[in-house]
A = this chain, B = another copy of it.
Amino acid sequence: MDDASPPKWHLAHTTWFFETFLLKPYLPGYRAVDGHYEYLFNSYYNSVGQPFPRARRGTLSRPTVAEIYDYRRRVDEAMARLLGAELGADILQRVELGLQHEQQHQELILTDVKFAFGHNPLYPAYRDRGPAPPTTAPPAGDLGFVRYAGGRVAVGADPAAGGFCFDNEAPRHEVLLAPFALGDRLVSNAEFQEFVADGGYQQPALWLSEAWTRLGAGTLAQAPLYWRCRDGAWYEYRLDGLQPLDPGAPVSHVSFFEADAYARWRGCRLPTEQEWEHAASATTVTGNFADAGVLHPLAAVATGPAPRQLFGDLWEWTASPYVAYPGYRPLPGALGEYNGKFMSSQMVLRGGSCATPAGHVRASYRNFFYPPDKWQFSGIRLARDE
């Protein structure tokens, strides 16, 4: 798939970021490891030059993995030299951005490996089954709703408040919300199976026109990305291999179109990103993140305050297109290409996933993908008007 890249590309690209935006401009006497890497490992910074075509990344058998690890080692050493000096705030901000950027690609390595392995007939496991998650908590029951009064509420991040945020989370600003309710947990595989069994994929009234056209009147996709039917039983490819579908686990790897259609079928809708953030701001950022080592979403449990699973497990599609906040200003220079230029035709997702490094997300964090994208760890939280 054109959107997925091999792991070694991610390793080289995150290294390239430090070399391009820190070592070259700020480390006196620094010389690029290889002049070609500028071109090969530039993902999309058009201001820096014409990137190597994304769809052909998988064809680069050179440089080898060993050469790329050597590249990383040499850049790491140079970064250590740079960090040994007294650095201005703007340089430190770039270092922070480089680290956040690398965290994003840590997640992409997992999603891209999952895509490659999940479409390989051998269904290889990326890792053996991780440590069994704690199962003492009783499973969550029927999906309920948590109500919010809405009103005039503040959303977004204030860069001046301390702590890192991306430019697209700012400025903090006020919005008006009508009363609403959020599902108290993610939609489960069993619940999504009801939609499939009801012929949800065949009912045009449930689908956005763009989806129905892409779906080819229902013929293209009939299930989440990694569901596989074998002799009448559903399985799911996970990073620990092809496993029987867990009915209680959240349905994952669905597109915005599927999330939207499912919500409509339930008589609900998806939350806006403002509604989601307003609810998430009241909770702590804990959940099933990559550091837990599970690498797939877990069934919700009945303990703890609702709504549950706001953070970790799965990125949650919202009803909000990804656009600029009022008064948005991109970063200056090439770094300004980081977020702002993607503000068309994509939808916002919130909350992080089981593949997101712990500590990377927060209530104001805005992720974004195109409506048909399914290869991210994406799931469904319902919402409704009150």
Give the interface of A toward B (CB within 8 A): 6, 34, 36, 39-40, 44, 46-47, 50, 52, 56, 58-63, 116-117, 119-122, 124, 152, 173-178, 204-205, 207-212, 217, 256-257, 260, 269, 319-321, 323-324, 326-327, 336-337, 341-345, 347, 371, 385
Contact = CB atoms under 8 A, between A and B. Distances in A.
A211 B209 CA distance: 22
A319 B324 contact: yes
Contacts of A347: 344
Contact of A341 (B52, B116, B207, B324): B207
Most chain B CB atoms below 10 A, which of A177, A336, A347: A347
A208 B385 contact: no
Contacts of A217: 46, 50
A59 B337 CA distance: 30
Q: Specify how many copies of this chain sit in the oligomer.
A: 4
A341 B122 contact: no
Contacts of A341: 207-209, 212
Contacts of A321: 321, 323
B204 A60 contact: no
A205 B344 contact: no
A59 B116 contact: yes
A199 to B, nearest CB: 14
A207 B337 CA distance: 10
Contacts of A124: 62
Contacts of A117: 61-62
15 contacts: A6-B61, A46-B212, A47-B204, A50-B217, A56-B119, A60-B120, A61-B116, A62-B124, A152-B176, A175-B175, A208-B342, A209-B341, A210-B342, A210-B345, A260-B344
B39 A121 contact: yes
Contacts of A269: 324
Given A209-B44, A319-B323, A52 B345 contact: no
Given A60-B120, A204-B46, A321-B323, A371 B345 contact: yes
Contact of A59 (B62, B119, B175, B209): B119
A152 B174 CA distance: 11
Main secondary structure on A side of the interface with B:
mixed
Contacts of A62: 117, 120, 122, 124
A58 B174 CA distance: 50
Contacts of A34: 122
A46 B205 CA distance: 7
A314 B26 CA distance: 49
Contacts of A208: 341-344
Nearest to A210: B344
Contact of A385 (B176, B204, B260, B327): B327
B176 A174 contact: yes
Contacts of A36: 121-122
Nearest to A269: B324
A188 B152 CA distance: 39
Contacts of A344: 208-211, 256-257, 260, 347, 371
B345 A178 contact: no
A5 B77 CA distance: 37
Contact of A121 (B40, B61, B345): B40
Query: Which 6 A-B residue pairs are closest in the complex by CB-CB distance?
Result: A46-B204, A321-B321, A62-B124, A209-B341, A345-B345, A208-B344
Given A343-B208, A344-B210, A121 B52 contact: yes
Given A61-B120, A321-B321, A326 B385 contact: yes
